[in-house]
Amino acid sequence: MKQKITILTNGLLIIILAILAGCNNTTNGLKTKIVSAHKAGLPISSEVSNLLSVNCYACHNPNTKSHDEMLAPPLAGIKIRYKKATNNREAFIDLMSSFVYNPSEEASLMKGPIKRFGVMPKTALDENKIREIVTYLYDNDVPEPSWFKEHHNEMNGGKNNKK
C-alpha cells in the first residue's frame, strides 16, 4: 500500500513539473527576444525582464498569431497611445504608471480595448516596480505581434501614428 502511494505521489509530482515546464515554455520566444535585446546593448536588467515576462506578457503577449488570441492589447499599441497623449518622458511614465497601479475605466486612455477586454486587474507589483517597467517600455522598442502594424493602421484610418 505504501509503495502505491509513493508511486502515485511521484507520478503526480512528474505531472505537475511537466505542466510547469510547459507554462514556462510559452514565453521562451519572448525571453529569447529580451535576452537578444540585452546583448544588443539595450539597457534592460534581468529583473525588469522577469517582471515583463511574468506580469505583463501573460496578457499582452507579443507572440500571438492573431488579434483574436489577445487577452489584452499589445504593449506596442499602448505605448503609441500613451506617447500620443503625453508630451514628454516623465508625463508618459507618470500617466501609465498611475493607470497600471490603480486601473479603472475612468483613467483609461484606451476606450476601445476597455470595451473589448475590460479593465486590467490590479497588479500585486508596488509602484516602484511598475515605474521600472513603464520606464523600460518608454525607453526601448517594444516587441509587437506580427499582425500589429496592419491592425494598427486599419484602426487608425490607414495612418501610422507611431511617435
Q: Give the pLDDT band (50/70/90) at residue 117.
A: very high
Q: Cell triple for residue 24?
A: 514556462
Q: What is the mean pLDDT of residues 10-22?
A: 43
Does any domain span residue 19? Answer: no
pLDDT digits (tens, 9 = 90+) for 127-158: 999 999 999 999 988 888 888 888 777 777 65
User: What pLDDT band is residue 1 in, cutting at 50, 70 and 90?
Assistant: low
21 in any annotated domain: no
What's the pLDDT score for residue 129?
A: 95
Q: What is the pLDDT of residue 48?
A: 87
Looking at the structure of the chain, the number of domains it has is 1
Q: How many CB atoms lie within 10 A of CB 39?
A: 8
Burial class (CB in 10 A: 0-12, 13-18, 19+), 161: middle
Is residue 38 assigned to a domain?
yes
Higher pLDDT, 151 or 85: 85
Domain ranges, residue 58: 31-155
Nearest Cα to Cα of residue 134 among 93, 80, 88, 98: 93
Q: The domain that contains 117 carries what CATH number? A: 1.10.760
66 assigned to some structural domain: yes
Q: Establish if 102 belongs to a structural domain.
A: yes
Residues 6+ apart with CB under 8 A from 70: 59, 60, 61, 64, 117, 145
Q: Please tell me the predicted confidence (pLDDT) of residue 106.
A: 95
Q: Quick one: 93 exposed, middle or buried, by C-beta within 10 A (0-12, 13-18, 19+)?
A: buried
Q: Is the pLDDT of residue 108 over 60?
A: yes
Residue 24 maps to a domain = no
Burial grade of 145 (CB within 10 A; 0-12, 13-18, 19 or more): buried
* Summary mean pLDDT of the chain: 76
Residue 129 forms part of a structural domain = yes
Residue 46 in domain? yes
What backbone torsions phi and psi does residue 87 show, to the nearest 5 degrees? -110, 0
